[in-house]
Structure 1
Amino acid sequence: MNYLAHLHFADADDQHRLGNLAGDWIKGRLEAQPYPPRVIQGARRHRFVDSFSDQHPAMRTARQCLGADRRRAAGIITDMVNDHFLVQHWPRYGDLPLEAFIDDAYAGLERTRPLWPAPAEPVITRMISHDWLGSYGRLEIIAMALERIGGRMRRDPGLAGALPVLQREYTALEEQFHHLMADLEATLNPRR
């Protein structure tokens, strides 16, 4: 899952959200990290969500939809496009209106700025200043972000030119997203 999904699956307190968002930048054993307990708990949730998603049959199917030539990039592509689907279907999954949730998440992240892992600082700063979360509703933005990620890699694993594939496989990817979300919601929020 990607940024919006990690924030969605976090508890509604600032430190837990930070840990969920910054989980990829908090390396090693969590118990040995110099962060407050709620940040560590959020990072633990981040790792759980990533592991659950990576192993879920729906995401295996979604990755296959992208074709053999995008096999190495399929995990990144599905993570990003899942945030797109989360925006598209926010009323089904979110408790607040999307704009209110995003504003609250950004404000909470700003309040935790002193705790941001150093490698996350430029990314979170750009996310907030350019409203990445709000822009994920446009598939073209997802494709552009994938192009940028691919451009930063030594060799693009198949991120460039993903838009036609995403458009062609949109319905199949969307269906797999809903399967994944149903199982994640049932696992993380069993009373919902």
Structure 2
Amino acid sequence: MNFLAHAFLSFNEPGILTGNMINDYVKGKKKFDYPAAIQKGMVLHRAIDEFTDQHAVTRQAKQFFKADYRLYAGAFVDVLYDHFLANDTKEFSTEGELNSFCQLTYASLQTDFDLMPQKFQQIFPHMQQHNWLYHYRYKEGIEKSFGGLARRAAYLSESAIAFSIFNEQYDALQICYNEFFPQLKQFAFYTFNELNNH
């Protein structure tokens, strides 16, 4: 999953949120340098990613991108899941509710700024200033996010084809999200409770 889903699936718990958001920037044993709550967030992040990658619906969604992007298909699917979450009226009944959630997320992360790995510290001000989490709601936000993915990836030279696939297969991808996300949310909440009880 991408940033919005990881934030949302932290269930308003500040330490878990920080760990969930910074996980991809923390390598190996460095995770043990963080407070327990943040470590739990990292464990939750990895559980979410594993559940997502192994899910039959995610494999189905990846097929749309496989021919053109091979191993990167999953990365594009992660981003577009954020788009459908941002537009999911079961989770955010209005645009205002989504934006409030995004602002609360940035404020919570800001309190842990000094603990963040350097790479995330560099990204976070841009995320906040340009309200990335909110802009996943719009196709232009997804286009930019796809572009960022292509720039960061070692073996990707473009993302325009991925964006056209996203538009062409929009309804089919929406169906994938509708089937998948409630199951992910249930799994993440169970894992979150398990972590908090230990």
Could you tell me the TM-score, scaled by structure 1's length? 0.89
Amino acid corresponding to residue 73 of structure 1 in structure 2? Y
Q: Which residue of 1 aligns with 2:91?
A: 93
Aligned residues: 188
Question: Runs (4+) of structure 1 moved beyond 6 Å?
Answer: none
The question of whether the paired residues in 2 share the 8 Å contact of 1:143 and 1:161 is answered with: no
Q: Which residue of 2 aligns with 1:183?
A: 183
Amino acid corresponding to residue 144 of structure 1 in structure 2? K
Q: Which residue of 2 aligns with 1:37?
A: 36
SS at match of 1:162: helix
The question of whether the paired residues in 2 share the 8 Å contact of 1:19 and 1:43 is answered with: yes
CA 109–7 in structure 1, closer or farther in 2 if over 3 Å, else same: same
Amino acid corresponding to residue 63 of structure 2 in structure 1? Q
Distance 1:35 1:11 in 2: 20
Amino acid corresponding to residue 82 of structure 1 in structure 2? Y
CA 158–56 in structure 1, closer or farther in 2 if over 3 Å, else same: farther
What's the CA shift for 1:72?
2.6
Deviates more, 1:107-116 or 1:96-105: 96-105
The question of whether the paired residues in 2 share the 8 Å contact of 1:16 and 1:41 is answered with: yes
The question of whether the paired residues in 2 share the 8 Å contact of 1:19 and 1:38 is answered with: yes
Distance 1:112 1:150 in 2: 29
Amino acid corresponding to residue 39 of structure 1 in structure 2? I
Q: Which residue of 2 aligns with 1:51?
A: 50
SS at match of 1:161: helix
Structure 1: runs of 5 or more not aligned: none
Q: Which residue of 2 aligns with 1:60?
A: 59
Kindly provide the CA deviation profile for residues 55-79 of structure 1, in whole angstroms up to 9, marking residues without a partner as x: 1000000000224122232111101
Kindly provide the CA deviation profile for residues 136-170 of structure 1, in whole angstroms up to 9, marking residues without a partner as x: 11112212221232134343166343221101111
Distance 2:22 2:160 in 1: 25
Distance 1:157 1:62 in 2: 22
Q: Which residue of 2 aligns with 1:14?
A: 14
Q: Which residue of 1 aligns with 2:131?
A: 131
Structure 2: runs of 5 or more not aligned: 191-198
Q: Which residue of 2 aligns with 1:77?
A: 76
Could you tell me the TM-score, scaled by structure 2's length? 0.87
Q: Which residue of 1 aligns with 2:164?
A: 164
The question of whether the paired residues in 1 share the 8 Å contact of 2:15 and 2:38 is answered with: yes
Distance 1:92 1:6 in 2: 17
Q: Which residue of 2 aligns with 1:109?
A: 109
CA RMSD of superposed structures (Å): 2.0
Deviates more, 1:77-86 or 1:178-187: 178-187
Distance 1:182 1:104 in 2: 23
Percent sequence identity is 29
The question of whether the paired residues in 2 share the 8 Å contact of 1:70 and 1:157 is answered with: no
